[in-house]
Structure 1
């Protein structure tokens, strides 16, 4: 795993999208790594391992290019997510979840990975993405049926907007379960209770455990 990580990091530092993508897809295709391990042990750590340069604008450049490459890899992994869901987990829930980020939250790759985790666990998973205006999401909520809303928060300063969003969602439909996760909760894992959320998701195992509580689990 260390060799995999180091080789992949080298391609990222070179900003070589093609080599980074082909390297990962070859490992996935040959079943040398699964989706959960790829996302949690390779992609997520490399997002934060960025050298800081004296020129702050150049650091932003490097960070954005790296995020763009990782986004490309995640999107290209989708067919393997479906295969792994069917062949490895073989579960399906009659449940739908929307994965969103609160207003002003621009970091959405974590939410994108979580969307695939829900797919692996057998959910009908909808990725909404970064900076989701609460008013627009509430309007959509009145037209679509959801069992869960997962809110991914990376920036601690966006917790206030997250709290407001949860209160508004609950005022529309108190039966929807609100799930939260992300780096903003890293040192305050129990704060989700004060915000009105129903559960804090720390990892893929938590999503699987959530599924065990659903009474409509069926085989694919």
Structure 2
């Protein structure tokens, strides 16, 4: 029922007047100039310059978290927007994403937190979702908050994700969906987790573009919560774990 309703809504949007979504990049925003430089390098296919933009920001003592929030996150959304508008090809979108994944790998050694939270997260993109960078963002923000994280990557089958959450004694299983087409798989994973006695105490968080459009969708699919950003996902998880269940 949820998927059918969203398909009808999508059809209505396609037949309505076209309104181009605004850019996610604004020069006046925090680190907006850095974001503009990084995005321009991506769009020009200049990997070295993109890496140099980030390196210069680090050398200027810009906090890594700020680079995630104000540069990488909005630029990745902007790449997706340009792809949806057919101003970027699929190959170009994949290239931009691959460069950002490289940046994340280089930043990872800098996000360690000496104060461990004593909590564990398993994060993945739902089965069928090959856009894994959202789940990677989530895992990295939990790592910055002192959690032990286990990032499974793209398109993980539901049972494998559940088994890994059990194996790792995870407090939270975070699942990312990029398109409406992935929602059936999210629902299947949540249902399987709910039916598995081993996951009785595991909090299931869901996120991604569809949940930003319909803010009640996570509830309809049976998850414990959702958040519009990776940073907010940490706060939601901590609140859920602190509340009586």
Post-superposition offset of 1:31: 1.4
Given that 1:28 and 1:80 are in contact with CA atoms closer than 8 Å, whether structure 2 keeps it comes out as: no
Larger displacement relative to structure 2 (178-187 or 140-149): 140-149
RMSD: 2.5
Distance 2:116 2:240 in 1: 13
* From 102, 124, 129, the counterpart of 2:148: 124
Q: What is the CA distance between 1:142 and its match in structure 2?
A: 4.7
Q: Which residue of 1 aligns with 2:69?
A: 40
Partner of 1:77 in structure 2?
107
Match of 2:126 in 1: 102
Distance 1:208 1:133 in 2: 27
Does residue 199 of structure 1 match 2:225?
A: yes
TM-score, normalised by the number of residues in structure 1? 0.84
1:1-220 equivalent positions in 2, closer than 5 A: 1-32=31-62, 34-50=63-79, 51=82, 59-82=89-112, 85-86=113-114, 91-172=115-196, 173-203=199-229, 204-208=231-235, 210-211=237-238
Contact 2:120 2:168 (8 Å CA) reproduced: no
- Three-state SS of the structure 2 residue aligned to 1:70 is helix
Offset, 1:53 = 11
Does the aligned pair in 1 maintain the 2:211–2:228 contact within 8 Å? no
Q: Secondary structure at the match of 2:194?
A: helix
Deviation at 1:10, TM superposition (A): 1.8
Aligned residue number for residue 218 of structure 1: none
Using the TM superposition, give the Cα deviation of residue 22 of structure 1 relative to its aligned residue in structure 2, in angstroms. 2.3
**Kindly tell me: are residues 116 and 141 of structure 1, through their superposed partners in 2, closer, same or farther at Cα, counting changes over 3 Å?**
closer
Mapped contact 2:126–2:156 kept (Cα < 8 A): yes
Structure 1 position 47, deviation (Å): 2.3
Instruction: Give the conservation status (yes or no) of the 8 Å contact 1:81–1:119.
Output: yes
In structure 2, stretches of 5+ residues that fail to align are 1-30
Tell me the equivalent position of 2:4.
none
**1:47-74: CA deviation from partner (whole Å, max 9, x where unpaired):** 24345699x7x71121111111111001
Gaps of 5+ in 1: 216-220
Q: Is the 8 A contact 1:121 1:208 kept in 2?
A: no
Which structure is higher in RCO with an 8 Å CA cutoff and minimum separation 6?
A: 1
